[in-house]
Amino acid sequence: MHKFSAFTSLALLLGCGGGPSTSGGTNSGGGPDSGSGEQPSTCSGTSAKAQFVFDTLTVPASKKDFAYDPTGDGSAHNQLGVLGQILVQSQISPQTGVDEAIKAGTLVLLLEELSKDASFAVDSCAQTIMYDGASATVEQMMNGKRATLVGGNQSSFSGTLKDSGYTSTAQQQVKTPVVLKLQVPLVSGTDALEIILTGATVSYRNATQQLSAGQINGVVKKADLQNSVLPGIARLLTQKVQRNLGMPDTNVKILDLFDTGGDAGEKPACPVDPANGKAPCQNLNGSCAKAKDGQIDDCEVSTGFLKYVLVPDVQMYDSKGNWAPNANNTLCANNAAQPCDSLSVGFGFSAIGVTF
């Protein structure tokens, strides 16, 4: 068993720079669209339709996996790969949780492709629509069962087909960016982590009754990172240790790493814990964390070592909060006047032809 150290993880992660994807390619634009298709004015209707269900969703294991260029500055990003690498190093396989959910039919991602070209080879007006599904496994759908569409979470994307490869519309210049919500079960046996992607993009290659080399990208706003993603990580880690999922030694190490009471900062909002003589951190709901209570609080995650690595890496909004990807602010991490405000994200996928 490999020993898990926060400092070892931190050193390794800080050494991983952005760059071209080694497993999913580098996507410079295209993406899922929650309503602003922004199709060319010459586009009008489609004649061919193909439907698919994801048979894989691949979690990045490094910053290079499924990286893309969100701002248009020519560099590739996938900061979520930091989290994937941490989980792997802590002997938690995020891929296992996703694979099990897809196999069990608790994670059903559906994709519909629309084109004027019945061969889905060349079309400047192609479209992709993504849906959440339920009540059917991949195997059942391949045998004719139809999934139930889950209302309220549908994203449509305008894009282009060339040489049977689809790329959705680049998001750098749009007024209303695409929003895509993903429920990703990163730890087997725990709740899914909700990841809300803004400025989302999608690309893939068409083959006979299947899609390959798929890539989903987008950014998580800083507010969503702090209010949703980090508390979600705390919740799933708590579920893992309290349900004693996986190897017991790993769960002990997770508690040693996170169940510390957190960092209260220079002006503690919570009283000193007499058990250790330290003031704990304060959670988003105003409650105070407690060290060694068997529960990992959201502030224990957000003020722990993850705050140094799972951080926004691109600037996507202007000072008024408007969508405005900044390709010129490549050093936003050190720019107090124009700080990074979003965390880059990338997943890989493949899909199989079905009917839904």
Helices (H), the chain: 6-14, 80-89, 94-104, 138-142, 222-224, 230-242, 248-258, 298-302
Q: What is the pTM of this model?
A: 0.85
Query: Is a pLDDT exceeding 50 seen at residue 326?
Result: yes
Q: What pLDDT, on a 0 to 100 scale, did the predictor assign at position 91? A: 76
Give the model confidence (pLDDT) of 7-23 as tens digits: 333 333 333 333 333 33
Give the model confidence (pLDDT) of 126-158 as tens digits: 999 999 999 999 999 999 999 999 876 689 999
Query: Is a pLDDT exceeding 80 seen at residue 90?
Result: no
Sequence-distant (≥ 6) Cβ neighbours of residue 83 within 8 angstroms: 94, 186, 233, 306, 310
Please give the single-letter amino acid code of residue 150: V
Q: Any idea where the domains of the chain sit in the sequence?
A: 6-236+313-327+340-353, 240-308
Average pLDDT over residues 86-94: 80
**Of residues 347, 238, 256, the one with CA closest to residue 295:** 238
Alpha-carbon distances, residue 186 vs 85, 170, 347 (angstroms): 12, 28, 12
Residue with token string 């059903």: 108
Average pLDDT, the chain: 87
Q: Report the 10 Å Cβ neighbour count for 117.
A: 16
